[in-house]
Structure 1
Amino acid sequence: MAQVTDPEVLKFIADTEAAYPSEANLATPEENRMYYDAMCAVFWAPHPEGVAVLDIEVGGIPVRQYRSKTSGKGAILYTHGGGFVVGSLDSHDDVCAELAAATGVEVWSSHYRLCPEHSYPAALDDVETVWRKLTADGRGAIVVGDSAGARLSAALCLRLRRVGGPMPLAQILIYPGLGGDKTLPSFVDNAEAPLLRTVDLAHYETLYKGDCQ
């Protein structure tokens, strides 16, 4: 496994693992969420000045809207990561606020039903519901997500293309989990890499698929 030497990256790993140790990934969902929320609190940053926030529900799905003073046409649907098990509107709140301030467009942050209580396709169904509401007025929008949220963003695009629907203008996928050959070096040589091990990925994949194995 390649060794990390950058001091800033090493500090990030240390700060993360202090609140969210590797064993949290295989803990019970309740314990995992407790660890994850504690980690997010460590890194949370205040909102940029001028960003307005509003919590709403779309079909019973929690959504948080962000608008800056310069918000104009267009929109972003942000879907948070967390292995489909952890994460919430609060965990990625500062990320979405900064995104709204930096882009000058409205950001909708969508929650979704989590595993293992709700396996596939519950999360994807929720994201599609929010997407169709966001674009119901015909405005163009893009999808953005990190990790599991990136996978849901990509899956949304594939579903919309298959069934017909308002396609995103673009998708921005931040370290998405899109599958791949599990015998490749990224899975084998880096099986014990910091923050997310190969065994953790397999665990989350099992929970996400549920009865669809």
Structure 2
Amino acid sequence: MQITDPEVLRFIADTQAVYPDEANHASTAENRRMYDAMCAVFRQPRPEGLPVADAVVAGVPVRRYTPTGSEARPFLLYSHGGGFVVGGLDSHDDVCAELAVATGCEVVSVDYRLMPEHPFPAQIDDVSAVWEAETAQGRAGIAIGDSAGGNLSAALCFRMRRTGGAMPLAQVLIYPGLGGPTDAPSYTENAEAPMLRAKDV
């Protein structure tokens, strides 16, 4: 795979300077340290005047981004990416702030428990618990997440359908990790692509 776009090449270089491919094979603590350092490199400041508050919902830490007028709109339940091992409220803080301002919706970011300390199904249990608490009084919402968080957003929809819970109005899956055959061309032809090699997946 040959990448020639200078902006993409600069992004890859800036990322790998603090979060190299080898991070995926480091200890959990070291992986998280490098991931947090990478997020700090790219983090943008929050928009001025956006109310942001940390809270606990159904025993799960969350961060609320509540733009003026959001009470009239559905909320966005955001599940962050990070392979279920890294990431949290700070890693995706600027993403959630930008979503809140762009949509005018309250964003509720879920700080679900991470692996390996908390094996499956702790992650979807946490996302579901927050969703059920937020929708208990008929509030409408949308499930959104990136990578592992996209997986959790899709899983939330399946769980609500199975249990008869409140269904999201929509799901927004940003490069979700949804499995698939590991001998497909996207794996074999791009096995050594920068940022996420096949062996790292």
Q: TM-score range by the shorter chain?
A: over 0.9
Can you list the C-alpha shifts for 1:57-82, whole angstroms capped at 9, x where unaligned?
12321100001124232100000000
Task: Using the aligned pairs only, state the percent identity.
Answer: 64
| Distance (whole Å) between structure 1 residues aligned to residue 167 and residue 61 of structure 2 | 22
| Distance (whole Å) between structure 1 residues aligned to residue 137 and residue 162 of structure 2 | 21
Can you list the C-alpha shifts for 1:154-202, whole angstroms capped at 9, x where unaligned?
011111111110000000000001011111011111111111111111x
| Distance (whole Å) between structure 2 residues aligned to residue 110 and residue 56 of structure 1 | 10
Secondary structure in 1 matching 2:32:
helix
> What residue is the counterpart of 1:211 in the other structure?
none
> What residue is the counterpart of 2:187 in the other structure?
187
Q: Aligned-residue CA RMSD in angstroms?
A: 0.9
> What residue is the counterpart of 2:59 in the other structure?
60
> What residue is the counterpart of 1:18 in the other structure?
17
Can you list the C-alpha shifts for 1:5-52, whole angstroms capped at 9, x where unaligned?
111111111111011000001111100000000000000101112210
Count matched residues. Answer: 200
> What residue is the counterpart of 2:40 in the other structure?
41
User: TM-score of the superposition, structure 1-length normalised?
Assistant: 0.92
> What residue is the counterpart of 2:144 in the other structure?
144
Gaps of 5+ in 1: 202-213
> What residue is the counterpart of 1:108 in the other structure?
108
Gaps of 5+ in 2: none
> What residue is the counterpart of 1:167 in the other structure?
167
> What residue is the counterpart of 2:75 in the other structure?
75
> What residue is the counterpart of 1:3 in the other structure?
2
| Contact 1:124/1:155, CA 8 A, preserved across alignment | yes
> What residue is the counterpart of 2:91 in the other structure?
91
| Contact 2:58/2:133, CA 8 A, preserved across alignment | no
Instruction: Give the superposition deviation at 1:133.
Output: 1.2
| Distance (whole Å) between structure 2 residues aligned to residue 174 and residue 3 of structure 1 | 24
User: TM-score of the superposition, structure 2-length normalised?
Assistant: 0.97
